[in-house]
Amino acid sequence: MTLLLEPFHYAFMQRAFVAALAVGLLCSTMGTYVVLRKLSFIGDGIAHASFAGIVIAYLRGANFYIGAGIVAVLTAVGIGFVHRRGRISLDTTIGVLFTGMFALGVFLMSQQRSYAVDLQSFLFGDILAVQPQDLWLILGLSVVVAVTVAVLFRGLLYTTFDPVVAQASGINSPAYEYALLVMLALTIVVALQAVGIVLVAALLVTPAAAAYQLTSRFSPMMLLAALFGAASTEGGLYLSYYVRASSGATIVLLATLLFFLAIGLKHLRRA
Amino acid sequence: MVARDLDVRYDDFTALVGATFAVHYGEALGIVGPNGSGKSTLLKTIAGLLLPSSGELSVLGQPPRKLAPGTIAYVPQVEAVDWSFPATVWDVVAMGRFARMHFWQRFDSSDRDVVHHALSVVSMAELAGRQISNLSGGQQQRAFVARALAQEPRLLLLDEPTTGVDAATEEALRKIVRELVADGLPVLMATHDLDRVDDWFDRLLVLDRRVLALGTPREVVESGAYSAIREHTHTHGHLRHDHEPHAAHAAHPEMRA
């Protein structure tokens, strides 16, 4: 018993579990929109682009959340703008923007070798390094995003299913799209420390995709996605303590396992 | 609804030129024309989805984007959405209520009554709980019409609702349109189906990027514009203007309605 509870004895582990819970709930809730609006590539793009923001914040001695946050929101809004106005296709835009921004981050980092170790943790995530002030920021942003989703719930649902008819009926579909992209950017920034840039897209897509296999209505899908997300982050973090593996990788592997179980369950039900 | 000298352009391509017409209360106006003639463009402009590049457009005395939410209901072709979306028929029809609701308002019993009534008008009440991925083409179209009715609009726009539906659904839709019109609702409907236009519509607008004819179905037939359209719709699918090269359409796949 003491062995099973051992992870919870350390303050840094307690912080990690709280942060993991918030990140799991947040990513998978937003993931419901990401999956249904087919935005998974955007999530990946924003996460990579924000790397440049993190590096610039480091070099200037500023808070990396602020650096990542500004770049992530600008990238999200920029992608949304090009999507609406541009003549270039969306995936091309994201492809250009995110590789360019990521390269800028790597370029700046490579000039400052002493910072390389810290930045490494942002690529692959280190939830065990969450500090008390990080935790407050994570919880604060989680509340902001959760309240916004609750307030905009009907409009987000309608514009996700049918943005054109929603707009004809008087709902401002572009405004909802921008609001969603900004929330997505904030979510990604919050998730960066937990699972890292490389794996954040998985947490945005996999739990919601698993829930999509098992539900036929929107709200149950969102709730089940949140459950899968929280189970993946909490379970993954707990397991990683015993198997002495990277917490980010363990979390994503658990989420992936849940996804394949969901597919299996769906086929069992049909049979 | 009044349009005066309406032009709609996409970039350097003019989809609609100098359209002038009006739709009155309790009238079904059919818009006929070949593919690429601007039928969908016209409906989208009236719905406020596109802005006219010049000319005047007013619905109930206002430009479409200035209207109170819920005023205009637009029914697109059913391919416009992903039917694997996790929703039941009820969920989709209930969305018709959303434009009028503030976030703090609950979806109350009066909203449920409106949704239920809309479902019964299109004979879909028993299918309310069905997942939308399990609907036939005709049922999808009925669900879309029910969503538009749940909105309690003051102008109804239908984009080729009879495309790909069975004869029973087509007749059901025609009856619904006639009943709505009898209740005073103005209805604008684009169609490529030129049979039975006098059973569907009070007046016809023949469109090929400009208004070629406007009047009762009989007047339009007598004007000759209608038979020209009919001929071309059946042979080439498009009318050509020598001064507007056909290639322009190919460059704008959106325009092939």
**DSSP three-state, residue B142:** helix
Helices (H), chain B: 39-46, 89-94, 109-121, 137-150, 167-182, 197-200, 217-223, 225-235, 247-250
Q: Give the pLDDT confidence score for residue A260 in this predicted structure.
A: 97
Question: Nearest Cβ partner of A151 from B44, B73, B103?
Answer: B103
User: What is the mean predicted confidence (pLDDT) over A47-54?
Assistant: 86
User: Quick check: is A270 in a domain?
Assistant: no
DSSP characters for A206-257? HHHHHHHHH-SSHHHHHHHHHHHHHHHHHHHHHHHHHHT--HHHHHHHHHHH
A196 within some domain: yes
Structure tokens given for B169: 């659904």
Neighboring chain A residues of B101 at a CB cutoff of 8 Å: 154
Q: Return the closest-CA partner of residue B159 out of B139, B145, B143, B138.
A: B145
Q: Which pLDDT score is estimated for B254?
A: 38
Chain CA centroid to CA A264, Å: 25
Which residue do the tokens 């937003």 mark?
Answer: A30
Distance CA A211, CA B243 (A): 55
pLDDT score at B164: 83
> What one-character DSSP code corresponds to residue B11?
T
Confidence of residue B127 (pLDDT cuts 50, 70, 90): very high
In chain B, residues with a C-beta closer than 8 Å to the C-beta of A173 are none
For the cut 80, the answer to whether the pLDDT of residue A172 exceeds it is: yes
Highest mean pLDDT among A253-262, B190-199, B205-214: A253-262
Residue A135 lies in a domain: yes
Task: Please tell me the predicted confidence (pLDDT) of residue A148.
Answer: 95
Number of DSSP helices (H) and strands (E) in chain A, helices first: 12, 0
Place of tokens 């707990």: A238
Q: Report, as an integer, the average pLDDT of A92-102.
A: 84
A20-44 pLDDT, tens per residue?
Answer: 999 999 999 999 999 999 888 888 8
Res A204 pLDDT > 90: yes
pLDDT band at B205 (very low <50, low <70, confident <90, very high): very high
pLDDT tens digits along B54-89: 888 999 889 999 999 999 999 999 888 999 999 999
- With bands split at pLDDT 50, 70 and 90, how would you rate the model's confidence at B238? very low
**Mean pLDDT, rounded, for B5-23:** 84
Q: Do B72 and A168 touch (CB under 8 A)?
A: yes
Residue A57 lies in a domain: yes
CA distance A144 to A149: 9
DSSP label of B105: S
User: How high is the pLDDT of residue B252?
Assistant: 40
pLDDT of residue B255: 35
Query: Pairing state of beta strands B54-58 and B2-10?
Result: antiparallel
Domains and CATH numbers, chain B: 1-67+185-257 (3.40.50.300), 72-153 (3.40.50.300)
Of A19-23, A69-73, A249-253, B10-14, give the lowest mean pLDDT range: B10-14
Distance from CA of B143 to the nearest CA of A (A): 13
The pLDDT > 70 percentage for chain A reads: 94
Taking CB atoms and an 8 Å limit, are B99 and A166 in contact across chains? yes
Q: Do B157 and A168 touch (CB under 8 A)?
A: yes
User: What digits encode the pLDDT tens for the residues B146-186?
Assistant: 999 999 999 999 999 998 888 899 999 999 999 999 999 99
Strand B2-10 relative to strand B13-22, pairing: antiparallel
Mean pLDDT calculated for residue range A141-145: 90
Q: Is A92 exposed, middle or buried (0-12, 13-18, 19+ CB in 10 A)?
A: exposed
| B86·A164 Cβ contact <8 A | no
B11, B71, B74: which to substitute to probe chain A, counting the most A Cβ within 10 Å? B74
Range of the domain at A186: 11-264
The pLDDT of B222-241, averaged and rounded, is 60
Quick one: pLDDT at residue A100? 87
Rounded average pLDDT over B215-219: 87
Residue B240 confidence (pLDDT) above 50: no
Residues in chain A, total: 271
Which residues in chain A touch residue B49, judged by CB atoms under 8 angstroms apart?
164, 167-168
The total number of structural domains in chain A stands at 1
Give the closest residue to A52 by CA, choosing from A187, A181, A192, A180. Answer: A192
**To the nearest whole number, what is the mean pLDDT of chain B?**
86
Which residues on A lie below 8 Å from B89 (Cβ)? none
Residue A140, domain CATH: 1.10.3470.10
What is the SS3 assignment for B151?
coil
What predicted TM-score, i.e. pTM, was given to this entire model? 0.89
What are B130-139's pLDDT values in tens digits?
Answer: 999 999 999 9
Give a yes or no: residue A246 inside a domain. yes
| Torsion of the alpha carbons at B132, A159, A166 and B130, rounded to the nearest 10 | 10
Interface of B with A (CB under 8 A): 44, 47-49, 67-76, 80-82, 85-88, 91-92, 95-96, 98-99, 101, 103, 131, 144, 147, 151, 153, 157
Beta bridge pairs of residue B21:
B3
Which of B71, B86, B151 is facing A212, going by the closest CB pair? B86
